[in-house]
Amino acid sequence: MNDSEQSQTSEAEPGELGLVEWVDFVSEDTFDFENGGSIPGFTLRYETYGRLSESKDNAILICHALSGDQHAAGVYKLKDRKPGWWNNMIGPGKPFDTNRFFVIASNCLGGCQGSTGPGSINPETGEPFNLDFPVISILDMVRAQKRLIDHLGISKLYAVAGGSMGGMQVLQWMIEYPDMLDRALPMATTARQSAQAIAFNEVGRSAIVQDRDWHGGAYDPEAGPNVGLAVARMMAHITYLSEEGMEDKFGRARRTSEPSGAKGLFDVEFEVESYLRYQGASFVNRFDANTYLYFTKALDRFDLYKNGKLEESFKDVKAKTLVVGFTSDWLFPPQQNRDIVHALLRSGKIATYAEVSMSLGHDSFLVDAPELDALVRAFISQ
């Protein structure tokens, strides 16, 4: 185990976790994937924040979104420019209060931040899996997390929480392991991927697989399909924001004055262009194209409806559930979040829906906002 808790206390600002470390959990048992194929074992890279109680009843599992990872809170080095992706939610005195809870975040199976994924070495060949990696589903991600939770000796999670693809994992936890969690907190998510969301993912995948540097997935990690991946990310990033949010943040603000000639016409002109290009370029530096392909497919195939009904999937659910939707989220709009709660209620479960008015679109769940903070704090404290 890591000793991050010790370094935190000595280095952290008040109310902040400070320094954290990741740990690798290695499962040496064969893992069979939902849709066929298996691997002889896997690594999940994870982080923990706070202390596990003696009775092991205070653990909260955090599930990440498409481009997230195990680094949900704190910093690796004091000079890190940014803390983990949900640092506003996780820490001493925060909604996921590390003075009280033991918070666990792992990089999903199939990921590219240390967990086993398409870019990992296939022990049977000594080469990267690439497209030999089995098709991964949200259920596979959750089953791999279950092994980590077992390894930590936790028989029941206090809560499982996450937004977007993380919210899908929460729903899957509720269904697959109903006795293993007391509270479920899916946000900005859906019980089945919409046609529009599939369409956006397909454009991103098209940009990647048609990039000549993709090489059928067998690219050199140092020279991957960077153009395709950056274009995919730029486009996806728009879907994480909102028209109103973009208007407020960028409007028609210019980076340069209007060039008079056509030379340089397609360089950055508006601030929003600069922002998107930065998002694309920085994503390429931290993310693997094959993981992007596999994860978007997992999203697109996610569908908890059975014969048009969601209740059937929820029949064994035991967790108390709060679903949070965001008014300006048009990727997983409020209605898709409400539908989850309505199906839970129709199934006689304890569930409630909160809709937070924020203008920042799908990414609202990642933003520090008092209303969201209070909702999560109250639900987790119940």
Contacts with a second copy, residue ranges (CB under 8 A): 35-37, 131-135, 192-196, 198-200, 202-203, 205-207, 209-212, 227, 230-231, 234-235, 238, 241-243, 246-247, 249-252, 258-263, 265-266, 269-270, 272-273, 276-277, 280, 293-294, 297, 300-301, 303, 330, 333
By DSSP bridging, strand 59-63 and strand 90-91 are: unpaired
Residue 237 bears catalytic tag = no
Kindly write down the DSSP assignment for every residue of 280-295, as one continuous string. HHHHHHH--HHHHHHH
| Helical residues (DSSP H) of 73-187, grouped into ranges | 138-151, 165-176
Angstrom distance (rounded) from CA 141 to CA 135 = 11
Residue 31 beta carbon to a second copy: minimum distance, rounded to whole angstroms: 15
Active-site annotation holder among 106, 164, 313, 328:
164
Task: Report whether 233 belongs to an annotated binding site.
Answer: yes
Residues whose CB is less than 8 angstroms from the CB of residue 216 and which lie 6 or more positions away in sequence, other chains included: 130, 131
Residue 189 C-beta-side C-alpha neighbours within 13 Å: 33
Nearer to a second copy, 161 or 231 (CB): 231
Nearer to a second copy, 238 or 345 (CB): 238
Residue 164 bears catalytic tag = yes
Residue 316 beta carbon to a second copy: minimum distance, rounded to whole angstroms: 24
Residue 329 bears catalytic tag = yes
Active-site annotation holder among 140, 300, 329, 339:
329
- Six token digits for residue 313: 């999937």
Per the CB < 8 A criterion, the answer to whether 353 and 323 are in contact is yes
Residue 80 beta carbon to a second copy: minimum distance, rounded to whole angstroms: 28
Strand partners, 105: 47, 62
- Six token digits for residue 301: 């195939």
Nearer to a second copy, 123 or 251 (CB): 251
Residue 130 beta carbon to a second copy: minimum distance, rounded to whole angstroms: 9
Give first-to-last CA distance, the chain, whole Å. 30
Distances in Å between the Cα of 329 and the Cα atoms of 163, 168, 186 are 12, 16, 14
Residues whose CB is less than 8 angstroms from the CB of residue 311 and which lie 6 or more positions away in sequence, other chains included: 343, 346, 347
Tokens 């262009």 belong to which residue? 273
Nearer to a second copy, 221 or 251 (CB): 251
Amino acid (one-letter) located at 308? G
Residue 184 beta carbon to a second copy: minimum distance, rounded to whole angstroms: 24
Nearer to a second copy, 335 or 382 (CB): 335
Binding residues for substrate are 233, 363
Q: Which residues are annotated as a binding site?
A: 233, 363
- Residues annotated as part of the active site: 164, 329, 362
